[in-house]
Amino acid sequence: MISEETKQLVDKGIMLPLMEEFYTIQGEGFHKGTAAYFIRIGGCDVGCHWCDVKESWDAEVHPPTRIGQIIENAIKYSKTIVVTGGEPLTWDMTELTEGLKKKGCSIHIETSGAYDLTGTWDWICLSPKKIKLPKPEIYPLANELKVIIFNKHDFKFAEEQAAQVGEDCILYLQPEWSNREKMIPLIVDYVMQNPKWKVSLQTHKYLNIP
């Protein structure tokens, strides 16, 4: 049972429900192939049916962890930090990012954009979901837009989302892993016809790493 005091610290972003943390190779998007330390924060109510980290959804099963401890663990391995979830913006990211910045880290976030953007980020990967659309203010700040393609209708959704980001935002279409054999040929054809888009693959799954 989490105390009321701990809950208040989590609400303020002084503690965060930490699901896992690990050093690996970024497998997706613009920074694929880059060694990075991942901080996975628990808690998400977006609820994508094809989510491959559903165990992250319930924040209460992940231990509230002090920001200082998270930062000290991270900088032992890398100055490139990826904050992911769950949906990390469920929580206030100000304390975490300020602390990492003081240590000279480059900080990336992977987010659906469904909540207010808190924290200071060097790279924002926006991966919007139909169930709970991004906040309007995050679109012009996104460095990359990564749309998951599960079915043909998702191409239309991708174009709707691309129309809202800045002109320098890099556009990616990524096949949903369980449906990749059906979707990859469609994505390849789509990108060849619409070369503003790039293909993103979950290369870490092909490499069999976290």
Answer yes or no: is 92 a known binding residue.
no
180 is in an annotated binding site: no
Strand-pairing partners, residue 82, are 38, 108
Is residue 51 part of an annotated ligand binding site?
Answer: yes
CA 206 to chain CA mean position, Å: 19
Does 109 carry a binding-site annotation? no
- Residue 47 neighbours by CB under 8 Å, 6+ apart: 57, 131, 132
Q: Is residue 86 marked as binding?
A: yes
Query: Of 107, 37, 35, nearest to 75 (Cα)?
Result: 37
Q: Is 127 annotated to bind ligand?
A: yes
The reply to whether 40 sits in an annotated binding site is yes
What length does the chain have?
210
52 assigned ligand-binding residue:
yes
Buried b (16+ CB within 10 A) or exposed e, 120-145: ebebbbbbbbeebbbeeebbeebbbb
The verdict on whether residue 177 carries a ligand-binding annotation is: no
210 annotated to bind ligand: yes
- Report the alpha-carbon distance of residue 59 to residue 6 in Å, rounded: 13
The answer to whether the annotation marks 26 as part of a ligand binding site is: yes
Phi, psi of 130, rounded to the nearest 5 degrees:
-60, -30
68 in a labelled binding site: no
List the binding residues for S-adenosyl-L-methionine.
50-52, 86, 127-129
Binding residues: 25-27, 40, 44, 48, 50-52, 84, 86, 127-129, 210
Residues annotated as binding site for substrate?
25-27, 40, 84, 210
Binding site members for [4Fe-4S] cluster: 44, 48, 51
